[in-house]
Chain A
Amino acid sequence: MRKPLLDIQGLTVEFATRNGTVTAVRQVDLQLHKGETLGIVGESGSGKSVTSYALLRILDRAGRIAKGSIVFGGVDIGGATERTMAEMRGRELSMIFQNPRAALNPIRAVGRQIEDVMIQHGLATRGNARQKAIRMLEAVKIRDPEQRYHAYPFELSGGMCQRIVIAIALACRPQLLVADEPTTGLDVTTQKAVMDLIVELATERQMATLLITHDLGLAASYCDRIVVMEKGNIVESATTEQLFTRPRHPYTQRLMRATPRLDAQVSDLLPSDDPRRVIPSPRPSGAPLLQVERLVKIFGKTDSADAVRAVDDLSFTVHQGESLGLVGESGCGKSTTSAMVMRLLDPTSGSLRFAGTDLATIPAKAFARHPMRSQLQMVFQDPTDSLNPRWSARHSIADPLIRLGGLSGRERHQRVEELAERVGLPTPLLDRFPHQLSGGQKARVGIARAIALDPRLLILDEPTAALDVSVQAVVLNLLVKLREELNMSYLFISHDLNVVRLLCDRVMVMQTGRIVEEGPTAQLLSEPAHAYTRALLEAIPHPPAMPVTLPPSLREIA
């Protein structure tokens, strides 16, 4: 057997915290050969990123490699001096980080940043660095590389920035590339382009790649082998094909189940014996609840040249009890639309008829105290950001009841507990602060607050984008349950067609402020008419379908 390029044996990483030592990674064994792509898949807190940081020896001060060995190309990384590591990083081992903007120096032209790493490792001289940097920009498929050489990170889109980061990482032709969630935060079409690029460059250079991701679909599409991690342990390690045809560990099975796929219903995301599982019943949609007509939002002076038409002549209707999906990539105007419908932002022109009243005529400032306020509520994208860090969960949920509910102290107390129960938040957790709650619990607090006033229309702005897939599965089922119980209408905003499909009756696809396609969900997904819808659909990485012949262990839960 060939000697592996990277050999990790019994790696244990510990962090010293004020509450004692926390073991983030426990007894991890990994082997990676030249030219191979290995995926490490796991949810937050699984230790997948810590493993990669240990590999590059960039753990923060509190962390240390407690046990085990990391051998890369014959060099013992655990025992190497900092000087040797500095030599190796960038030249032998490279890393792509999650947030490309944060990884680039904001005040240095991108071309110079590529030069820096090559000069640092003696692979270019001042004389030829520029030419080499431009060649790297060409390699990562940036158009007009000579012009882009002078660009600053803020002048480039997120996808372009990630390409620059890749160019920097690959400039010295490393043998191993570690990509830590390289496409999280990028649009699906950009994600596909970036991942295709990484794989193409890796193949061309016979480079080993370690892809760290929470997305099983992504790992399935690009990796040869997959390692599944849970709470610091490797629970399963197999080739991609094996893993998907015969997942052995219950955690892997749960993860696979929770990943939205084309053939799944929302209830399929949870095991059949899970009490939180909800099968949506068909609901006839009622009278129009929200009628949006010719809605326009222009940022900047209307008549000036740099005015941006963020939302351009938008018309749609949400019926009573209906779930409408609004899908588009970042910058398409979907958030602006939701802010206008929520009456947080005044439209430039157009009308918003909600239950017979034109809300567009009421200024956003005055709407906070308007009687209609309680009927339009929203669940925000980031559950952490949307909760006041100094307020307990109870206080956050009670706030709308205090302001608009008009309930007395005792009634309010009861109502908060009833809401907590409804969203599945254990009552003792109500007195905790946001930083003491997990992501899923925070999401529940946000949902409880949004439904506290019995709204008729709930806007869901990517409510699960910041959550792990297994938590997402639970939250999506919860949303279906609440919709049935409370007869609310949903306007579901997302970039992820796979998730929208699970919850919505009808879907609109938005591009540069306009709706390019609209139709019943099933029809739109099976026969997309517009080229943009097709591009979006093709870009979504699909995990292989659940195995038809279930292994015995899985058959029990299925």
Chain B
Amino acid sequence: MTTLTADSTTPLDGLRRFLRHLLYVMTDNPMTAVAFTLFLLIVGTAVLGPWIVPYDPLATDASRTLQAPSWQHWFGTDQLGRDVFSRVVVATRLDLMIAVTAVAIAFMVGSTLGAIAGFYGGWADRITGRTMDTIMAFPLFVLAMGIVAAAGNTLENIIYATAIINLPFYARMARTEVAVRRNAGYVQAARLSGNADWRILAFQIFPNALPPMMVQISLNMGWAILNAAGLSFIGLGVIPPTPEWGIMVAEGANYIISGHWWLALFPGLALMLAVFTFNLLGDGLRDLVDPQRRT
């Protein structure tokens, strides 16, 4: 890489530089552009969902049960005559909300614990490390099932369960990223400038450990969506008739054998698309937030 001369900066310049960088990241890797577009589409759907759908996702119609996809019902109708397209679209918000909240909790708690473990070492490290090992020792989906089953079948508990099984990833990652920077020159320099330990950790080391964690967040998000849908699929968590991809796949699965494939296929595709998007997004995000790549 060559060092280039950047012009003097004003806030507006900074924004322009960011936009130019965004454009560069997009054009450099078309997959990133695809991922960002899909991401915006998913977020848009989640926000606007209830207002853009053609039918009420909960309205049943006994005269129109199990109709194949048509111009009237793009994704067909289910066993109660509800419009599958409307249900898939409306479900986006719930599924995304569960995943975002769970990943946010996992990221905040996990990275804090991990950062402290990595920075101080010793007992803090040992306790966090072994706790995370214990969580990882369970098959994670079974652990999530157990938590929801034991704590009660509510939306909050699905979120907590998903957050808990994601904790170790963040804790371990934050620990390593912080530990390698613990003795960096700028950390020593910060000590000489009169910064207390917590301040060094929060303002010097942690922001520098963020880029790899952004990737983790994105990958995790897809996984969390899958996990939440999985819990609903086996009957834990979201309760029918609320539209949710996992339940819809579970209910639709009963009808595949009788040839009504659209019931399970479309929510399944939506799920796949969401997971795919978040997985692709990870790399693009890293390119965007890593200052080393910003010239």
Q: A17-B2, A388-B204 are in contact. Are A435 and B196 (CB under 8 A)?
A: no
Interface flag for B6 (CB, 8 Å): yes
| Chain B residues with CB below 8 A from A17, complex form | 1-2
| Per-residue interface assignment for chain A, residues 341 to 376, with 1 indicating a CB less than 8 Å from any chain B CB and 0 otherwise | 010100000000000000000000100110001101
| Chain A residues with CB below 8 A from B196, complex form | 368-369
Q: A385-B184, A388-B186, A435-B295 are in contact. Are A342 and B192 (CB under 8 A)?
A: yes
Stretch binding the partner chain, chosen from A76-84, A237-245, A397-405: A397-405
* Option from B5, B9, B194, B292 in Cβ contact (under 8 Å) with A389: B292
Interface flag for A433 (CB, 8 Å): yes
Q: A18-B24, A19-B295 are in contact. Are A380 and B189 (CB under 8 A)?
A: yes
| Chain A residues with CB below 8 A from B195, complex form | 368, 399, 403
Task: State which size class the interface on B falls in.
Answer: 20 to 34
Least CB distance, B192 to chain A, in whole angstroms: 6
Interface flag for A387 (CB, 8 Å): yes
| Chain B residues with CB below 8 A from A446, complex form | 189
- The answer to whether B291 and A390 touch across the interface, beta carbons within 8 angstroms, is yes
Q: Give complex CA distance A369, B194 in Å.
A: 6
* Option from B9, B192, B208, B291 in Cβ contact (under 8 Å) with A378: B192
- The answer to whether A380 and B292 touch across the interface, beta carbons within 8 angstroms, is no
Least CB distance, B115 to chain A, in whole angstroms: 16
Instruction: Name which of A365, A381, A403 has the most chain B CB atoms within 10 A of its CB.
Output: A403
Q: Give complex CA distance A15, B9 in Å.
A: 28
- The answer to whether A388 and B194 touch across the interface, beta carbons within 8 angstroms, is no
Interface flag for A468 (CB, 8 Å): no
| Chain B residues with CB below 8 A from A435, complex form | 3, 291-292, 294-295
- The answer to whether A390 and B207 touch across the interface, beta carbons within 8 angstroms, is yes
B185 closest partner in A (C-beta): A386
- The answer to whether A428 and B295 touch across the interface, beta carbons within 8 angstroms, is no
* Option from B5, B185, B294 in Cβ contact (under 8 Å) with A380: B185
* Option from A22, A399, A404 in Cβ contact (under 8 Å) with B2: A22
Interface flag for B188 (CB, 8 Å): yes
Least CB distance, A419 to chain B, in whole angstroms: 13
- The answer to whether B4 and A19 touch across the interface, beta carbons within 8 angstroms, is yes
Interface flag for A302 (CB, 8 Å): no
Interface flag for A377 (CB, 8 Å): yes
Q: A19-B4, A390-B207 are in contact. Are A404 and B193 (CB under 8 A)?
A: yes
- The answer to whether B192 and A428 touch across the interface, beta carbons within 8 angstroms, is no
- The answer to whether B2 and A403 touch across the interface, beta carbons within 8 angstroms, is no
Q: Give complex CA distance A436, B7 in Å.
A: 10
* Option from B4, B185, B197 in Cβ contact (under 8 Å) with A382: B185
Q: Give complex CA distance A17, B28 in Å.
A: 11
Q: A431-B8, A436-B3 are in contact. Are A389 and B208 (CB under 8 A)?
A: yes
- The answer to whether A399 and B190 touch across the interface, beta carbons within 8 angstroms, is yes
Least CB distance, B195 to chain A, in whole angstroms: 6
Interface flag for A449 (CB, 8 Å): yes
Least CB distance, A412 to chain B, in whole angstroms: 13
- The answer to whether B186 and A385 touch across the interface, beta carbons within 8 angstroms, is yes
| Per-residue interface assignment for chain A, residues 39 to 72, with 1 indicating a CB less than 8 Å from any chain B CB and 0 otherwise | 0000000000000000000000000000000000
Interface flag for B191 (CB, 8 Å): yes
B8 closest partner in A (C-beta): A428
Interface flag for A432 (CB, 8 Å): yes
Chosen A-B contacts, 28 in total, with CB atoms closer than 8 Å, are: A22-B2, A342-B192, A344-B192, A365-B197, A368-B191, A368-B195, A369-B194, A373-B194, A376-B192, A377-B192, A380-B188, A381-B185, A382-B185, A386-B188, A387-B185, A387-B186, A387-B189, A388-B208, A389-B208, A389-B291, A389-B292, A396-B189, A404-B194, A435-B3, A435-B295, A436-B6, A436-B295, A450-B192
A374-B194, A376-B192 are known contacts; what are 18 more A-B pairs with Cβ within 8 Å?
A: A19-B2, A342-B192, A377-B192, A378-B189, A380-B188, A381-B185, A386-B184, A386-B185, A387-B186, A388-B208, A390-B291, A399-B190, A403-B195, A404-B193, A428-B8, A433-B294, A436-B295, A449-B189
Q: Nearest 4 A-B pairs (CB), nearest first? A: A386-B185, A400-B193, A385-B185, A403-B194
